[in-house]
Structure 1
């Protein structure tokens, strides 16, 4: 099957999705979810100290085959390249809403470019490989964790970005795991509705979505809780990624 590589735009917003191989669970326990969240934070923001992590001392943990110490250059590597707008981790898949700041990044040495990479592709490669190693170690298994390449769709309209963010935050409710999105602990919905309770180093950049609601968390919550019209459902349907949208 040919790979459909989307065009990457500066300031473009993209819905990214991946699921477990053969639809198997990718998160078996709370520690798995927290590991993934910590890796997001490590790549997108960076850890200043171990106590900044979601769980105590995840860095340099000697019982993990891939440690943050083993890849020190990734600490905050994507901070100038990408913004995480929204995410939700589900038992057998995950959703990310990413805004690109720099589509193609360069690595320079002595003023010379020695390498370049697509920001999104490299971010997803490091995210999925690091998590897979940690997941396999904890669950005492071998082999791939995710089903092939990640899936991605560009969302060109701001109004559509809002609809997809609501879909992502409502995913646990749609799946019947909780009755309210704020009851699900493994998304960044709380960054939007309870920003005062979050540390300043939150991995999510809420500026884009809240700008549509005059920075009001309550108005965003009302939007997410609101009834989705048939037309809004059709809009979301355009950006639900599947096996036909793949990225190397």
Structure 2
């Protein structure tokens, strides 16, 4: 039975999640994460898209991504293929790196766009890796709160949903839940309903 086609239209926004096969690690060191970010940049040049938020965990990755005129399937196929070739060659790995095909949740409202950005940026906190999202190096949160600049993340759409001072209000929106997040065992097995 053929797979059901994903809903796509130009400008569609998605919460994408790619998990390692059998929940195995897809990032083993800093070089792997840097290569993945480089892959995102290189694919973006060839197949333009907008990356609103991201977080690289150990065994999965979250992307909040807006397609342009190119189907999101083509974009994700190229990202996953490039990274899998790199990973398999580096670690002499044979077989599928990613579990099934990526998960794609269509985002159609502003409130959903904001909720997913918050969810993505809080992933390391919920996984008990860091007590605050601004301490985690491998997400776009530092770009949002002005602690880091990159050419990958586009913050205008999400920050534009907040009144001035936008950065301060976005930070308050994300971090308001920190006091309610209970301590959990270390690791990045955080799935939530969106994975």
Name the TM-score class by shorter chain: 0.7 to 0.9
Which aligned pairs between 1:53-202 and structure 2 lie closer than 5 A?
76-79=45-48, 82-102=49-69, 105=70, 119-194=71-146, 197-199=148-150, 202=151
The secondary structure found in structure 2 opposite 1:173 is helix
1:27 aligns with 2:30: no
Structure-2 residue corresponding to 1:47 = none
Structure-2 residue corresponding to 1:17 = 17
Given candidates 220, 227, 234, the residue that maps to 2:177 is 227
RMSD: 2.0
Following TM superposition, by how much is the alpha carbon of 1:2 offset from its aligned partner in structure 2, in angstroms? 5.6
CA distance in 1, matches of 2:160, 2:96: 39
Q: Return the TM-score normalized by structure 1.
A: 0.68
Structure-2 residue corresponding to 1:56 = none
What runs of 5+ residues in structure 2 fail to find an aligned partner?
Answer: 181-191
CA distance in 2, matches of 1:158, 1:122: 25
CA-to-aligned-CA distance 1:184-224 (integer Å, 9 cap, x gap)? 111111111116x415xx11111110101146211111111
Q: Is the 8 A contact 1:162 1:209 kept in 2?
A: yes
CA distance in 2, matches of 1:172, 1:5: 31
In the comparison of the two structures, how many residue pairs are matched? 182
Following TM superposition, by how much is the alpha carbon of 1:175 offset from its aligned partner in structure 2, in angstroms? 0.6
CA distance in 2, matches of 1:186, 1:21: 21
1:39 aligns with 2:8: no
Following TM superposition, by how much is the alpha carbon of 1:96 offset from its aligned partner in structure 2, in angstroms? 0.6
Deviating above 3 A after TM superposition, structure 1's stretches of 4 or more consecutive aligned residues are none
Q: Which has the larger radius of gyration?
A: 1
